[in-house]
A and B are shown apart, each in its own frame.
Chain A
Amino acid sequence: KAGVTQTPRYLIKTRGQQVTLSCSPISGHRSVSWYQQTPGQGLQFLFEYFSETQRNKGNFPGRFSGRQFSNSRSEMNVSTLELGDSALYLCASSLSSLYQETQYFGPGTRLLVL
């Protein structure tokens, strides 16, 4: 079974631009979560989607948004990019709506904002 896939793997943007990242979960997984990883802040939770609904959101500004499609694929969008948004963005999927389900991660999208 294929793992979590994320596209693109690498991205370079300039300040003020916007970016959309894509995540395809493991087949059959319906929950998708997004995390930001930086050297200074570590891994931080952005948001989680299940059945096209956002169930939880982390402490990030409104410039960070996401959505989930009926096939469970998810996208996250960052508008008006700032230098501090440079990070590895990780997507994780889990099987169901139960909160004690293991989350499996994709390889991430490395975003560099210049």
Chain B
Amino acid sequence: GESVGLHLPTLSVQEGDNSIINCAYSNSASDYFIWYKQESGKGPQFIIDIRSNMDKRQGQRVTVLLNKTVKHLSLQIAATQPGDSAVYFCADLSNDYKLSFGAGTTVTVRA
């Protein structure tokens, strides 16, 4: 079965607001996580990653938080823009080179 999952399949957010996308994982041995963004008609695009020896990592307008105690990670998008509308996946890269993906959260940005 999948080792990662997302809490909500859809998220609607007002342009300019912050977005938070959540993901839970079940494998306590998981130690590397990646967030991908997939726009319609395209392949998943790397956003940000985090290793288990960290609990927070920041990129441009994005922050990933990792809580190993409750096996939860989240992606925060600051000042959400229309171009952020997409499906977001969290993925766990296991030590057998296999990415396990969650089901995805569709983010819709309202103007």
Contacts and interface: CB of A to CB of B under 8 A. Distances in A.
A77 to B, nearest CB: 20
A99 B94 contact: yes
Interface of B: 2, 31-32, 34, 36, 41-46, 49, 51, 89, 91, 93-104
B99 A35 contact: yes
A106 interface: yes
Interface stretch (A11-19, A40-48, A61-69): A40-48
Nearest to A105: B43
Contacts of B36: 105
B27 to A, nearest CB: 14
A64 B89 CA distance: 25
A33 interface: yes
Interface string A87-114: 0001010000001101111111000000
B34 A102 contact: yes
A102 B96 contact: no
B101 A43 contact: yes
